[in-house]
Chains A and B, each alone.
Chain A
Amino acid sequence: MRILGGGIFKGMAVTLRNFVGSYINKKERLPTNDYSWRADGALPQSIGDYPKEKGEQLSDTTTVTEYSRNFPMLLHDGGEPMDTVRCVACQICERECPPQCIYIEKDYDENGKYIKRPAVFDIDVSVCMSCQICVEVCPFDAIVMNSQFELSTPDRFGGLLVRRDDLLKSNDYYHKIHPEEAAARDQKMAVEKAAKEAKKKAAAEKAKAAAEKKAAEAAKEEAK
């Protein structure tokens, strides 16, 4: 026979066990603050005096995982950002962006000739939903996800509209925040570049052969 209230006492025993267990049986309980999956195994102990200096980002060092994504950034290959920027303003990401938060204008030189880089590249991070579609559709590996998340600002409109120069980050920074992904991307780019060069070389050789053949034929004609 069941005792009335027995179920409640059983439940109370569970809460008591949880309360006591949280002090003595930490290992077996698989706590939620288990950071064993991180390379260094734990959160840094010095987290108490964060931020140590102005502009320091928690995201660079602590809780961010390999695939974490917040808002996009534009990559350049080092040096003067606008000289080595990978983006050619093809506007594919602008077209594919689900919430339509990207705005791009192409850059032209004084003669009105299109130079392959963006004159305006704005991302409205108040609209962006961090979905990473822009990264996937970009054929030039120019846009990737940043993991920087401390972006609070008192300016609701201007402060959340990130302009081109703030979006530009170097490939070294990308390697720092997403090492595996960045290495894979670099490798993929190298393979693509090699394939492109091989193709170009083959095309050049073909053209050369064709030219030689033509020249030979012309010489033959002349000899006649």
Chain B
Amino acid sequence: MSTAAAPNYELIQQDGLETNLLEVSMGPHHPSTHGVFRMDVKLDGETVVDLRPVFGYLHRNHEKLAENMSYLSSMPFTDRLDYFNSMTNNWAYALAAEKLIEVEVPERAEYLRVIMAELTRLVNHVSLVGFFINDLGALGTPLLYAFREREKILDLFEQASGARMMCNYFRFGGLRNDVPEGWLERAAKVVDHFPSFLDEYEQLLCENEIILSRTQGVGNLPRELAISAGVTGPMLRASGVAYDLRKVDQYGIYDRFKFRVPYTDGDTGDCYDRFMIRMLEMRESIEILKQALAGIPEGEIMGNAPRVFKPKPAESYGRIEGPKGELGFYLIADGTPKPYRYRVRPPSLINLTVLRDMCLGGKIADAVIILGSIDIVLGEVDR
């Protein structure tokens, strides 16, 4: 454990007074903890010497619930895991179940899945950056700019699926319904407009001296630790590992699109790296979106998959590159309409495991930023 040298307490180290470590319970209602998350922090002055994450306040028994209902019925519950990214959650679960029942997904549905997933990535990253800056103390402006853009994409989701956030749009073998008429043009309009917003956003944030001084060199995550802790997603790429499931697995039709995977070339990643990786990833998402919107064919959106089915005893693991990292669903079928085992690999939870290592030796105010840069959603951590 690395701890910084204890600061000098000249004022209180007088005769008859002694200094102790101070134990502070941050959360679960602290606004910086992104929900109901608690950090038991031991402080020496302002320096963090120990940190214990406490979670489970939002536990909803997701896995056991899914083991007691049919495969289709747990699809809407996956929306509520990471409620910012319901579309990608749906996709990961659909992939796992499609492996069990072996259905083909029609071409148009595959394209729409990519479009929805990349729009979701934009939504997640743009609001994460807003919240992250909000944690730094920039209350309002960057977050509200981000939410203004996010709302345009949520409007698209609502027109396609009927709900802004709890979309419940993917089905085994396709999608629930085709997008309404004119939707693709509206999506193209939003996508074309997005880069100009990103330019503005980068100008607003990326060179700001306050942000630079508060994030650079804070919350260092070495590459070895990131790999051995199982960290995935933008956080892993910020630590210098070029690993993206869209390139590695090429699930869906990601092999057809030309895009780059941004990563840092250092051995370690700090909060600023993690922030910048997300800004760069949004640019690449826009590239994918443009290609997908240009290439989308007409046709069916649903393969001939049964609504309720009894898969043969087998197991399957479906994983995707979610906006937060590798999101996986592990299913064991036992020949009944319900899964025997249903397990979620939540990127938020696994990325959170390195929180203590990143915070030790830093200041208490930095712990808030480091937590913000991990990008957790408590719905997914606690399930």
Decide: B166 and A66 in contact? CB cutoff 8 A. Answer: no
Q: Which residues of A sit under 8 angstroms from B163, Cβ to Cβ?
A: 68-69, 130
Number of A-B contacts (CB under 8 A): 98
If A37-B186, A98-B77, A129-B76 touch, whether A65 touches B162 (CB-CB below 8 Å) is yes
B209 is an interface residue with CB less than 8 A from chain A: yes
A190 is an interface residue with CB less than 8 A from chain B: no
Among A1-9, A74-82, A197-205, the stretch that binds chain B is A1-9
Q: Which of A22-43 contact B (CB under 8 A)?
A: 30, 32, 36-37
A132 is an interface residue with CB less than 8 A from chain B: yes
A137 is an interface residue with CB less than 8 A from chain B: yes
Least distance between B147 CB and chain A CB atoms (Å) = 9
Decide: A11 and B162 in contact? CB cutoff 8 A. Answer: no
Q: Which residues of B sit under 8 angstroms from A6, Cβ to Cβ?
A: 207, 209
Q: Which residue of A lies closest to B192 (CB)?
A: A30
When chains A and B are docked, how far (Å) is the Cα of A14 from the Cα of B145? 11
Q: Which residues of A sit under 8 angstroms from B152, Cβ to Cβ?
A: 30, 32
If A7-B208, A67-B177, A98-B69 touch, whether A133 touches B162 (CB-CB below 8 Å) is no
Q: Which residues of A sit under 8 angstroms from B205, Cβ to Cβ?
A: 11
Least distance between A92 CB and chain B CB atoms (Å) = 9
When chains A and B are docked, how far (Å) is the Cα of A87 from the Cα of B183? 33
B22 is an interface residue with CB less than 8 A from chain A: no
What sequence of 0s and 1s flags, for each residue 196-231 of chain B, a beta carbon within 8 Å of any chain A beta carbon?
Answer: 000010011111111110000000000000000000
Decide: A10 and B145 in contact? CB cutoff 8 A. Answer: no
Q: Which residue of B lies closest to A96 (CB)?
A: B73
Q: How large is the interface on A (under 10, 10 to 19, 20 to 34, 35 or more residues)?
A: 20 to 34
When chains A and B are docked, how far (Å) is the Cα of A13 from the Cα of B211? 17
A187 is an interface residue with CB less than 8 A from chain B: no
What sequence of 0s and 1s flags, for each residue 64-88 of chain B, a beta carbon within 8 Å of any chain A beta carbon?
Answer: 0000011011111100000000000
Decide: A131 and B180 in contact? CB cutoff 8 A. Answer: no
Q: Which of B150-189 contact A (CB under 8 A)?
A: 151-152, 155, 158-163, 166, 168, 176-177, 180, 182-183, 186, 189
B190 is an interface residue with CB less than 8 A from chain A: yes
Decide: A136 and B176 in contact? CB cutoff 8 A. Answer: yes
Q: Which residue of B lies closest to A180 (CB)?
A: B180
B54 is an interface residue with CB less than 8 A from chain A: no
Q: Which residues of A sit under 8 angstroms from B190, Cβ to Cβ?
A: 30
A15 is an interface residue with CB less than 8 A from chain B: yes
Decide: B193 and A65 in contact? CB cutoff 8 A. Answer: no
If A65-B158, A130-B163 touch, whether A37 touches B182 (CB-CB below 8 Å) is yes
Decide: A32 and B148 in contact? CB cutoff 8 A. Answer: yes
When chains A and B are docked, how far (Å) is the Cα of A219 from the Cα of B316? 64
If A98-B74, A131-B76 touch, whether A5 touches B168 (CB-CB below 8 Å) is no
Decide: B158 and A68 in contact? CB cutoff 8 A. Answer: yes
When chains A and B are docked, how far (Å) is the Cα of A165 from the Cα of B359? 59
B312 is an interface residue with CB less than 8 A from chain A: no
Least distance between B114 CB and chain A CB atoms (Å) = 20
Least distance between B289 CB and chain A CB atoms (Å) = 16
B141 is an interface residue with CB less than 8 A from chain A: yes
When chains A and B are docked, how far (Å) is the Cα of A131 from the Cα of B203? 40
Choice from A65, A97, A129 contacting B180 with Cβ under 8 Å: A65
When chains A and B are docked, how far (Å) is the Cα of A4 from the Cα of B277? 24
A61 is an interface residue with CB less than 8 A from chain B: no
Decide: B180 and A30 in contact? CB cutoff 8 A. Answer: no
Additional A-B contact list (10), CB under 8 Å, known A6-B209, A98-B69, A133-B73: A7-B206, A11-B203, A66-B159, A67-B162, A68-B158, A96-B72, A96-B308, A130-B163, A136-B72, A136-B307
Q: List 7 A-B contacts (CB under 8 A).
A: A4-B209, A8-B210, A67-B158, A68-B158, A97-B73, A136-B307, A137-B308
Which 9 pairs, one residue from A and one from B, show the smallest C-beta to C-beta distance? A7-B207, A131-B76, A67-B162, A69-B162, A14-B204, A98-B73, A7-B208, A11-B204, A32-B151
Interface residues of A (CB under 8 A from B): 4-8, 10-11, 13-15, 17-18, 30, 32, 36-37, 65-69, 96-98, 129-133, 136-137, 145, 180-181
